[in-house]
Amino acid sequence: MEIDMIPLTASNYAANVHNRSQETPDLDAIKRYEAKADSETILHKFGMVTAKGNMIGFGMFVMGAWDPVLKPGYAEVTINVDSKWQSHGIGSRMLDEIEILAERHGADSLQTSIKDTDERSLDWAKKRGFSITSQTFESQLSITEFDTSQFDASFKALNSAGIRFTSLAEYPQDEVSHNRFWNFWRELVSDIPGMADQPLPDNDRMNQLTQDVDKNGFILAVDGHQWIALSMIIKETDTTYYNSMTGVSRKYRGSGLAQAIKVKAIDYALQNGATYIRTHNDSKNAPMLSLNEKLGYRQKPGQFSLVKHFN
């Protein structure tokens, strides 16, 4: 059967894709990818489409301003093939095209992720030169019946010690406050397992990425005038929020702050009508995985991060 590799955009999607497999993106997803890119992003998207307009595979190549921790010289790539069409050379055709793009744009490494339950795809990626660099778990928490009052005693103790909870929204929405926040975020995120060697974006980039995000969800713990912990929670859909980052300053660890500020994040989501919270944690981050389990998060299948170096 003839299968064409078609460069995809939001404007040509409907003309070329009449049906799609569940492994491939719909038009809304293509629009989200394009909205995420800016003038400095190198973005290529292509679909593997049959003569009848059925998209059975999807590939994507991204460099530049995209993922805020994407290393210089790295390209983030996606290769998805309908399970019924695997072992027909479709993934290899897409990877060959991606490697041409990598050479054209000067990428020296490709990075991707694969579900840790997808042994078939992992085996294929390893045979094509990828190696596993880390494993990340997704966890989900149903909050419809979450009772924040069970933590009242903990909050009372923290308040008695002079610690209060607020958010970035309570500070002036200016360059000084935002830079202070991202400098603090950078301090904390560098201690997260798997992040020590990652490049961290500058403040301007982070402000750009979060300009439309509700700063009430950028929750802070404060001792006097000092920021000592943060938890960022961001709306994904009307019912689902994403807890993207939680961290505590080193000298305040072990005082229950991580639990307290995550509960504040849960309360924020509840107040905004959410029913679920998602988060991800590196498999080496045992303390946070344990805390999530204590709060009621249920671990979902995770994913491996993989990289292929050309030099």
Looking at 96-110, 197-211, 227-241, which range is the least confident one? 197-211
Q: What is the mean pLDDT of residues 28-54?
A: 92
Residue 134 has pLDDT above 60, yes or no: yes
State both tokens at 159: 């308040």
- Provide the 10 A C-beta neighbour count for residue 218: 25
* Cα gap 45→58, rounded to integer Å: 8
Q: What is the mean pLDDT of residues 27-49?
A: 91
* Cα gap 47→94, rounded to integer Å: 9
Looking at 50-64, 193-207, 243-257, 277-291, which range is the least confident one? 193-207
Please check whether residue 23 is in contact with residue 83, taking contact to mean a CB–CB distance below 8 angstroms.
yes
Please check whether residue 135 is in contact with residue 255, taking contact to mean a CB–CB distance below 8 angstroms.
no
DSSP state, residue 309 = E
Of residues 124, 79, 118, 126, the one with CA closest to residue 99: 79
* Cα gap 80→63, rounded to integer Å: 19
Looking at 30-39, 66-75, 106-115, which range is the least confident one? 66-75
DSSP state, residue 71 = P
Please check whether residue 267 is in contact with residue 290, taking contact to mean a CB–CB distance below 8 angstroms.
no
Rounded to 5 degrees, φ, ψ at 301 are -55, 140
Query: Whole-model pTM?
Result: 0.73
* Cα gap 294→298, rounded to integer Å: 10
Residue 251 amino acid letter: K
Rounded to 5 degrees, φ, ψ at 138 are -95, 140
Please check whether residue 283 is in contact with residue 135, taking contact to mean a CB–CB distance below 8 angstroms.
yes
Residue 156 has pLDDT above 90, yes or no: yes
**Which domains does the chain possess?**
3-107 (3.40.630.30), 139-301 (3.40.630.30)
Instruction: Quote the distance between the C-alpha of residue 19 and its chain's center.
Output: 28
Of residues 120, 116, 77, 74, the one with CA closest to residue 304: 116
Q: What is the mean pLDDT of residues 280-309?
A: 88
Residue 284 confidence (pLDDT): 76
Strands (DSSP E) contained in 151-283 are 163-167, 218-223, 226-235, 240-248, 276-282
DSSP state, residue 86 = T
Q: Tell me whether residue 7 is exposed, middle or buried, using C-beta atoms within 10 angstroms of its C-beta: 0 to 12, 13 to 18, 19 or more.
A: exposed
Q: What is the mean pLDDT of residues 267-288?
A: 90
Please check whether residue 191 is in contact with residue 220, taking contact to mean a CB–CB distance below 8 angstroms.
no
91 or 200: which carries more pLDDT confidence?
A: 91
Of residues 22, 64, 67, the one with CA closest to residue 42: 64
Residue 270 has pLDDT above 60, yes or no: yes
Residue 67 has pLDDT above 80, yes or no: no
